[in-house]
Amino acid sequence: MDNYKNKMNRIIIIIVLILTTNISAKTQDFNDWILTKDKDSVFCNITLVNDQNIFFEYKKRKRTDHGMISKKDVVNYYSKQNKNIQLKSTIDTVFFYGYDFSYFKLNDVKRIGQELNKFTYIWIDQMNDANTIKKLSSRMNIGKVVDYQYYIESQYKFLNPMDLVTAINYGIPKDSIQSIIEKYQIPLNSGVGFVVIWECFSDKDKTVSGYYVFFDQETKKILQSDYYKSYSSYSYNRVKDWGYAMCDAFDNYTRKFKIKFIHKENKTKSP
């Protein structure tokens, strides 16, 4: 009987060691945790805590992904690096104006004569399906993103399809971005606006380029403007291929995004 008990104890110890090693491997480098009201424990790295949400990185299969959870759904949380982590986001709220194609060109000679102004709506739908407001907030560590796309959508109705295709290299001068923002017919409320001004889709280079611009809504002055060009391996033979490439470019930018400005008004409210 004693031999049987000793044997069973050894088996139990081995099982515990295996389970402990497995859990340790899965949660390696993820030293923080969040306990939710649903009694779920999330092992992660907490990157930001503001008045509304907790932002974190976690392991999803073989890659690291980003997540966000409302404080209302959290019982407790812990950060090993800083037990009292309570970071303040530079901007708690951003008003997202969407995607501006007003100065856009498609560098693809075989598209000359086509009504590309109709394609912009297809691309925007693809973008909104792939990058929801919630995903945008989570990836960019912004407490709240308010959808204001309808304020500049009307501009697409006046695009001339004959002006949207070019056979030569094209670019929007950096010093013209401020004047583009100033032309927007938007509410002059306090707060931070964000818009993507698409520049060019190049069939030759297989690239998508544009300006990602943050601006003060009240003064329309630019707070941060990032120029980003992304290569994509899509064939670009279909209209939706450009949409997929645009989604990838925007996704890559939001994952690398860093706030480089301090806005005086943090507690903005949508009207």
Interval 207-251: pLDDT, tens: 899 999 999 998 999 999 999 988 877 666 677 888 888 888 998
Domain co-membership, 212 together with 238: yes
Domain co-membership, 177 together with 62: no
Q: Which range (12-21, 130-139, 160-169, 213-222) has the least confidence?
A: 12-21
Final residue before a domain boundary, out of 88, 105, 123 = 88
Domain co-membership, 48 together with 97: no
Q: How many CB atoms lie within 10 A of CB 233?
A: 8
Digit-coded pLDDT (tens) for 9-41: 565 555 544 544 444 444 456 778 888 888 788
Query: Residue 228 in contact with residue 196, Cβ under 8 Å?
Result: no
Residue 138 — very low, low, confident or very high, per pLDDT cuts 50/70/90? confident
Structural domain boundaries enclosing 70: 22-88
The answer to whether residue 231 sits within a structural domain is yes
What does the alpha-carbon distance between residue 212 and residue 77 come to, in Å, rounded to a whole number?
Answer: 33
What does the alpha-carbon distance between residue 163 and residue 59 come to, in Å, rounded to a whole number?
Answer: 46
Query: What is the per-residue pLDDT for 76?
Result: 84
Domain co-membership, 194 together with 223: yes
Q: What is the mean pLDDT of residues 65-86?
A: 73
- Looking at the DSSP bridge assignments, the partners of residue 91 are none
What does the alpha-carbon distance between residue 234 and residue 237 come to, in Å, rounded to a whole number?
Answer: 8
